[in-house]
Every structure is written in structure tokens, then in C-alpha cells.
Amino acid sequence: MTTSSTSIRTAVAGATGYAGAELTTILRRHPHAEVVAEYSSESFSVDALASSHAEVVFLATPNEVSAEIAPKILGLGMKVVDLSGAFRLRQAGLYPKWYGFAHEHPELLDEAAYGLTEWCNGELKKARLVANPGCYPTSILLALRPVAFLIDREQPVIIDAKSGVSGAGKKADVSYSFAELFGNFKAYGVGSHRHEPEIRQGLHLGEKATLVFVPHLLPTVRGILSTMHVGFTHSVNDEEIAEMYAKAYANAPFVKILEPGRLPELKDVVNTPRCDIGWRLLQGGRRAVIVSVIDNLLKGAASQAVQNFNRMYGFPETEGLQ
Ligand SMILES: NC(=O)c1ccc[n+]([C@@H]2O[C@H](COP(=O)([O-])OP(=O)(O)OC[C@H]3O[C@@H](n4cnc5c(N)ncnc54)[C@H](OP(=O)(O)O)[C@@H]3O)[C@@H](O)[C@H]2O)c1
């Protein structure tokens, strides 16, 4: 049982990265978390972690690193919230194609709770391992799930998504340099971005339905704006759509649904733990353009990880985040 004086011993691996630094900042001001250890690549070892006696370990590390160390950390009896993609996909067979490595622990893919917080029920309370969703999938699944049953799977689901450069982490790669990005805007990873199978999985699209996912790199530091084009099986009106969103997010403090016809902007959510969603109906309500925005480092990574932590331990979902 948690009380007002409960404090959970937490550790952060990857604390010197973009997502890990945000996470550590939030955990340090969280009334029920004590940050007992923070690691960079150089200071991390499983032995060091063992001696920290952390109860829960956040991994803000590259995919391959999380895939390797999470099973060892679970073996120490610690819980894991992994911000990477190492445990997000249910099918181990997808990892070589989309992530470039073979998954050694398919049993953990079955076990991991997919932490799209607003769509979790009791599973976070019981979880030993939480797979925090990807940043693009967070923005897309929160917007499409409430209307998913309306989507006509015979028509392509087209998603045009734009992310600030921090989405790629602190890379020393020329394509992420100031000279390449400033005053520029480009698509990348079309048909090969590793978030594509996660989006397909999260929408239960199956193998056949067409998903077109086009990520873009915005010449800004943080924020994701996803524009989704969907056809519906029958006509709907604004009131019906508004009701579906209101029902889905009645108890979701970090999802804001805009009035019909209003579309959200990046500046509404940057530096906040929120996802804002708006839509416009087209063709007499047979189609919609839905737009969602998040801060990739917060709702797309660190603040969602803390929402999941709050749910795991029975703290109010907003604890440490307001
Ligand atoms: N950036 C985002 O918007 C975002 C959103 C959602 C999820 N994620 C995921 O979160 C994870 C971290 O992303 P990021 O953008 O914060 O990356 P990043 O800025 O590149 O940071 C990576 C972190 O991992 C550490 N690290 C690297 N190799 C390691 C190793 N072998 N052992 C232990 N630690 C190691 C790095 O330490 P050093 O400082 O010593 O190099 C650094 O602290 C990734 O899996 C990413 O996919 C990122």
C-alpha cells in the first residue's frame, strides 16, 4: 500500500541522454521517488545497479542496450520501465527487419505491458516490465484509437508526422547538424521507420490494411505534430466524434480534445506532458483529417514513463507532472 510518505528508490540508465535527462529532472521533483542512481554509458554496469538497491529502473538507453540489460535487471528482482523499442513489439520475428537485431527474449515480449498509459487498465499495477511507447506511436495511437472501429480498412490509413530533431537523440551525425537542418524540412524513413510496426500493432491493422507512415524532420528541437488521413465505413458528424473522444479520455488528465474544427499546434504542448487532438471532417463525414501534438521528450518519452510509474505504484497519475 502507498501512503503520502512512500518513496520509491529509482535509478535511471541513460540519464545523460535527451530523454533520460528529462526523466531524471521529473523524478527528482517527484514527491514519491528518490533517484538513487544515474548512469551514463561509462558509469553503467549491472553490478553497480545491483548495489544501488533501486526498486525500479528506467532505461533511457539505445534499443540494443535495453534488450541486453533489461533481462539481467529483472533477474535482480528490480522492475523495469524501458523507454526504448526493445520490448514494444509482440512478435520477436519483427525485430531483425525493423530494429536490426534478433530478439533473445521473446517471453519478455509476451510479458511486457505496453505503456500507452491512457489505454492501460490494471496491467501496470502488476507489471515487472513496462515498454514505454515510441514518440510517434504515442501521438498517433492516442488520436486514432477512439475512432479505430470506424476506420475503413479497405482505404489506406495515411499518416504524415513531423518531429523535432531531439527525437533522434544526441547523435554526432552530419545529417543532424545545424547546417543540414536550419531552414530545411525533409521526409525520412518512408517504409522503414521502426515505429511503423508499432503503429500497425497498436491499431490492430493486421497484415493487409495499408498503412502509409511518412515521418519528417522539423528544423526545431522538440515536438511532434502528426496529421492522420482516414476514411470511415459510414458518415459521422462532429458531435459523434466529439463524444467518442470524450468517452475515451474522460479520466485522462494529459489528453486535451479541442472543439470540433480546431486543430492543435506544436507550441500548445512543447514543454508539457500533454497530447492535444483536433479533427476536421471531410466529404460529408466519410473522411477525417485528425491532428495531434505532443512533446516527444515528455508525453513521447519521460513524462509518459512517469505516468506509468505512478500507475504501477498507485500514485495519482499527475504526481510529479504538474
Ligand atoms: N528522443 C526522443 O524523443 C525519444 C522518445 C521516445 C523514446 N526514446 C528512446 O529513448 C532512448 C534514449 O533516447 P535519447 O533520445 O535520450 O538518446 P540519447 O540522447 O542518444 O541518449 C542515450 C543514453 O544512453 C546512454 N548509453 C548509450 N550506450 C549505452 C550503453 N552501452 N550502456 C549504458 N548506457 C548507454 C548514453 O550515455 P552517454 O551519454 O554516455 O553516451 C545516453 O545517456 C532510446 O531508446 C530512444 O529510442 C527517445
Task: Let me know whether 20 and 86 are in one domain.
Answer: yes
Asked if 159 contacts 226 with a C-beta cutoff of 8 angstroms, the reply is: yes
pLDDT confidence band for 5 (50 / 70 / 90): confident
Mean pLDDT of 75-94: 98
Quick check: is 319 in a domain? no
Mark whether 91 and 147 lie in a shared domain: no
Q: With cut-offs at 50, 70 and 90, classify the pLDDT of residue 2.
A: low
Residues 286 and 157 in one domain: yes
pLDDT at 172 over 80: no
* One domain for residues 145 and 282: yes
Backbone angles phi, psi at 186, to 5 degrees: -150, 155
pLDDT of residue 175: 86
- The residue nearest atom 47 of ligand 1, judged by CA position, is 84
Mean per-residue pLDDT, 25-43? 98
Cα Rg for the chain, rounded, in angstroms?
A: 19
Closest to 134 measured CA to CA, from 274, 294, 17: 294
Provide the number of structural domains found in the chain: 2
Residues with CB under 6 A from ligand 1: 13-20, 40-42, 44, 60-63, 65, 83-84, 134-135, 166-167, 169-170, 296-297, 300-301
C-alpha cell read off for 116 = 500507452
**58 and 29 assigned to the same domain:** yes
Task: Examine the domain organization and report whether 40 and 157 are in the same domain.
Answer: no
Domain of 237, in residue numbers? 136-296
Query: Quick one: how far is CA 182 from the chain centroid?
Result: 26
Note whether 141 and 118 are same-domain residues.
Answer: no
**Mean pLDDT, residues 36-59 taken together:** 98
Looking at the structure, do residues 151 and 290 belong to the same domain, yes or no?
A: yes
Average pLDDT of span 261-290: 97
pLDDT at 3 over 80: no
Mean pLDDT of 37-51: 97
Give the pLDDT confidence of 277-299 residue by residue, as tens digits: 999 999 999 999 999 999 999 99
At 1, the pLDDT band (50, 70, 90 cuts) reads: low
Model pTM score: 0.97
The whole-number average pLDDT for the span 26-44 is 98
Query: Ligand 1, from 12, 23, 24, 41: best to mutate by most atoms within 8 Å of Cβ?
Result: 41
CATH number at residue 30: 3.40.50.720
pLDDT of residue 206: 82
Residues 253 and 111 in one domain: no
The long-range contacts involving 32-35, CB below 8 angstroms and separated by at least 24 positions, are: 32/2, 32/6, 32/7, 32/8, 32/313, 32/315, 32/319, 32/320, 33/7, 33/8, 33/309, 33/320, 34/7, 34/8, 34/9, 34/10, 35/10, 35/11
Rounded to 5°, angle at Cα 220 from 304 and 173: 90
Of all protein residues, the one whose alpha carbon is nearest to atom 28 of ligand 1 is 41
Rounded to the nearest whole angstrom, what is the distance from the C-alpha of residue 14 to the centroid of ligand 1? 5
- Quick one: 208 and 252 in the same domain? yes
The pLDDT of residue 272 is: 98
- Answer yes or no: is pLDDT of 246 > 90: yes
* Domain co-membership, 263 together with 212: yes
Does residue 63 form part of some domain?
A: yes
The answer to whether residues 193 and 103 belong to one domain is no
Give the pLDDT score at 136. 98
